Amino acid sequence: MSALKVTLGFATSPGIKTDNEDFCGSMSPAEPQLTHKGIAAAIADGMSGSEAGKVASQCCVVSFLADYYSTPESWPVKQAGQKVLSATNSWLYSQGQARYQSVNGMVSTLSILVLKSTMAHMFHIGDSRIYRLRKNNLEQLTRDHRIWLSQDKNYLNRAMGIEPRLEVDYKSFPLEQDDLFLMTTDGVHDFIDDKTLRKLLLGESGLTLLAEKIIQCAKDNRSDDNLTCQLLRIENLPEAKEDEILRRHANLPFPPPLQPGMMLDGYRIEAELHASKRTQIYLATDTGNGVQVILKTPSIIYDDDTLFIEHFLYEEWAGKRISHDNIVTVISSNRKKSCIYYVTEYLEGQSLRAWMDSHPKAEIKTVQNIVEQIAKGLRAFHRKEMLHQDLKPENIMIDRQNRIKIIDFGSVKIAGIAEAATHQSSGSTEEHILGTLNYTAPEYHLNQRGTAKSDFYSLAVIAYEMLNGALPYGNLPEHPDAGNLARLHYTPSFHYNPMVPAWIDGALKKGASIMPQLRYDDLSEFLYDLNHPNPAFLRTEDNIPLIQRNPLRFWQILCGVLGAINLILLYFLA
């Protein structure tokens, strides 16, 4: 199987100084982290004059290499790297203030390369450097964060541990076979010009020996600082459009139509619970422990559809990496699969759709409780950098204990996995609408990227429907476009259910806004407004025209007034 492969080499020396305040390191993990997280390398230079520069540089490299690989596999490189660096920076700054009462207590430069799939991701702060030699052309990829006061005097204006708020340069770019990356501290690159550096890089194939030659060249040029360089060469790249999950299952066949009593890898099929164009869902018994489970299988009509297979496999991937009381559990097993399927816990209960059919215009307190549980499940997705993208009553279960569970992962967008896919694709997978018409956020219909606010929209529509027995905009046209979306009008709850307070309707209206920028920025804000009167939404019934609030009552009163006027006129005429 094609996989990312690099060779590494490094050399370091204190030079003319007693202590070496530079530090470098790298990590090339085994699968599956090689695919999901990539290969990381870092170099740091403790700032001269800081009280603990040596400790700072070591902390920067070691903490990144440890903490980056501990972040969720679903996080994209940029998010994972920035979160780790922000935490490290906060610790360095606080330690510098607490131990040394100085902003220069624990300060270091830091340059990082993360190689994932066919892409390089670069984080940089300070004046250490990253170069790339490609097709005999040498290019400096980083920029020095230095302020020059004169030809001889300069200072770092950005580094780890200087400020409580971190500003890091980030860049990503495609890799090519035989790319050679050079990472250096200023004790090296300040004493070797680019022409000499390029000549050195072209003249030696052994990376450790090459690193030692570069260090020696800088020493020969009278370097007066610590000297460190690290080298990485791309030996092999993954094949385009290939993903580890897909590779792992690519040769497995689709399962045959399953009937009650049939056995599949130790699961006895009990009954088919649901079948659609895309998937089948079966109740089964694990004969190993007697526990009832759910088997989900793909439809055989998609056995040659790579995109469909990819999404189906992502369902299991997402489910296994997210654990929450309000999300169905995907069950892991060591048994070898004979075909493509996955297993989840069996939930005794009913879908939210079935519950809504038997509880039209449900009690407000009950709806508030259900919405809060759904929101907790959504938060678990969003914390893993996953968007559900198909939240609807049919994809939500209520078990015998009235516990809510989100049960479907078929449309989940996983940021970390999407990033591992080829960057040469057309993007059609990214923009393909996988949700359900009346619950899918409008931006998807306009081929715009979804965000967490897209899931907020779906939740608000579900809450509205539970309270009112209708949809906030009615049934949407089959193929919504910008024109007919702009003509949609929100129907206030009092048209369907006069028991819904205006402040709850205000929260629903904001949550289900057609324009994402008008929706809530956070689920907690929506939940709070759904449970506590927001003054902004406190429109009393006196502020709403009666003809809008209760058209029937308006015409009844009007007819009564007109009738009274007629009687009075008849009296005077008589």
Query: Which residue numbers are catalytic?
Result: 390
Side chain identity at residue 76, one-letter code? P
Encoded tokens for 149: 């006061």
CA distances from 266 to 160, 251, 253, 262, 291 (A): 54, 20, 17, 10, 12
Instruction: Please state, in angstroms and rounded to a whole number, the distance separating the CA atoms of residues 211 and 43.
Output: 14
How far apart are the C-alpha atoms of 569 and 489, rounded to whole Å? 43
The residues near 364 (Cβ < 8 Å, ≥ 6 apart) are 467, 499, 500, 501, 504
Cis peptide before 533 (omega within 30 of 0): no
CB 380 within 8 A of CB 392: no
Dihedral angle at the C-alpha atoms of 80, 82, 86, 92, nearest 10 degrees?
90
Distance of CA 524 to the CA centre of its chain: 19
Per-residue tokens: 480: 């919504």
Tell me the residue ranges of DSSP E strands in 237-368.
263-264, 267-275, 279-286, 292-298, 342-345, 349-351
Residue 416: φ, ψ to 5°: -65, -35
Q: Please, what is the Cα angle at 292 between 288 and 294, to 5 degrees?
A: 110
**Among 467, 476, 529, 475, residue whose Cα is nearest residue 504:** 529
Sequence-distant (6+) residues with CB within 8 A of 339 are 252, 253, 254, 255, 264, 297
Strands laid side by side in the 137-140 sheet: 5-13, 227-236, 180-184, 129-134, 137-140
* Alpha helices (H) in 23-105, listed in sequence order: 33-36, 53-68, 77-100
Tokens of 518: 């008008």
Residues 6+ apart with CB under 8 A from 178: 134, 233, 234
Distance CA 351, CA 511 (A): 23
Buried residues in 356-374 as b, exposed as e (16+ CB within 10 A): beeeebbebeebbebbebb
- 333's enclosing H/E stretch is none
- For helices 77-100 and 53-68, what crossing angle results, to 10°? 150
DSSP string spanning 138-174?
EEE-S---EEESSSS-EEESS-BTTSSS---EEEEEE
Rounded Cα distance between 165 and 189, Å, is 28
